[in-house]
C-alpha cells in the first residue's frame, strides 16, 4: 500500500503564482524526499528532509515536515511553465531491518499555465 498520499491530485496555476502540494504518510520515518517527474521520464530529486528537521529551502522550493501530524508540504514560489510536472513525496520508514527503501505517494500533477 502507498505510504504517502499527495494532495491535491492535480493543481493548475498561472505562471508567477505559488504552488503548494501536501503529503501525508502513515508510519514513523527516517526521512522524506520530494521528486519531480516530467511525463514518462526519470525522477529528479528535489530535496531531502530528515525526521529531526522541520523546514528546508532550496532555491524556489520550501519543504516543511510535521512528524506529529505525519505530513509534509512542498511550496514552489514564483512558478514557471517549466515547473509543469508530477511531484512525488517518498518516505523512508523506520524499520527494524537494515537497508533503505522509498515508498512513494501517487503524486500531484502540477500544470503551470504561461
Partner 1 sequence: DSGVTQTPKHLITATGQRVTLRCSPRSGDLSVYWYQQSLDQGLQFLIQYYNGEERAKGNILERFSAQQFPDLHSELNLSSLELGDSALYFCASSVTGGITDTQYFGPGTRLTVL
Told to check if 104 binds partner 1 by CB under 8 A, we report: yes
DSSP the chain: --S-EEE-SEEEEETTS-EEEEEE-SS-EEEEEEEEE-TTS-EEEEEEEETT--EEEETTEEEEEETTTTEEEEEE-S--GGG-EEEEEEEEE--SSSS---EE---EEEEEE-
Told to check if 61 binds partner 1 by CB under 8 A, we report: no
Segment interacting with partner 1 (CB under 8 A) among 13-21, 56-64, 74-82, 87-95: 87-95
Segment interacting with partner 1 (CB under 8 A) among 17-25, 45-53, 63-71, 72-80: 45-53
Segment interacting with partner 1 (CB under 8 A) among 17-25, 63-71, 77-85, 101-109: 101-109
Told to check if 98 binds partner 1 by CB under 8 A, we report: yes
Told to check if 6 binds partner 1 by CB under 8 A, we report: no
The residues with which 31 forms a beta bridge, in sequence order, are 50, 92
Tell me how crowded residue 105 is: count the other CB atoms within 10 A of its CB.
22
Residue with smaller CB distance to partner 1, 99 or 114: 99
List contacts with partner 1 (CB under 8 A): 2, 30-31, 33, 35, 40-45, 48, 50, 88, 90, 92, 97-107
Amino acid at each position: 500500500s502507498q505510504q504517502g498520499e499527495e494532495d491535491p491530485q492535480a493543481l493548475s496555476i498561472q505562471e508567477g503564482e505559488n504552488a503548494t502540494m501536501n503529503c501525508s504518510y502513515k508510519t514513523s520515518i527516517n526521512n522524506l524526499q520530494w521528486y519531480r517527474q516530467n511525463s514518462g521520464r526519470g525522477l529528479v530529486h528535489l530535496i531531502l528532509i530528515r525526521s529531526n528537521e522541520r523546514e528546508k529551502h532550496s532555491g524556489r522550493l520550501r519543504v516543511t515536515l510535521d512528524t506529529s501530524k505525519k505530513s509534509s508540504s512542498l511550496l514552489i514560489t514564483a512558478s514557471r511553465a517549466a515547473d509543469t510536472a508530477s511531484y512525488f513525496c517518498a518516505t523512508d520508514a523506520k524499520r527494524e531491518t537494515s537497508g533503505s527503501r522509498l515508498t512513494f505517494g501517487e503524486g500531484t500533477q502540477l500544470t503551470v499555465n504561461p
